[in-house]
Amino acid sequence: MHYYEVICSSCRNKFRVYEGSLRFRQLKERTDKIFRCEECYSKIRMDAIKNFFR
Ligand SMILES: [Zn+2]
């Protein structure tokens, strides 16, 4: 399986973006310069939800 190794913009950890995923396409087309690993991505989503209910 094809994948890119990307540095997470939040935690600076390396993570893999696999072929066929939305992020892989974004990476290939360079539509987004900020990439976050799954962990940071869900953390940010959780924070957004928490803020929403505050
Ligand atoms: Zn991260």
Distance 11 CA to ligand 1 centre (A): 4
DSSP state of 21: S
Distance 12 CA to ligand 1 centre (A): 6
What was the pLDDT predicted at 24?
A: 86
Which residue positions in the chain have pLDDT lower than 70?
32
Distance 36 CA to ligand 1 centre (A): 5
HSE (side-chain half, CA atoms, 13 Å) at 35: 23
Distance 44 CA to ligand 1 centre (A): 10
How many structural domains compose the chain?
1
Q: Which domain holds residue 30?
A: 3-53
What was the pLDDT predicted at 32?
A: 67
What was the pLDDT predicted at 14?
A: 95
Distance 41 CA to ligand 1 centre (A): 7
Extract the runs of DSSP E, i.e. beta strands, from 1-54: 3-7, 14-18
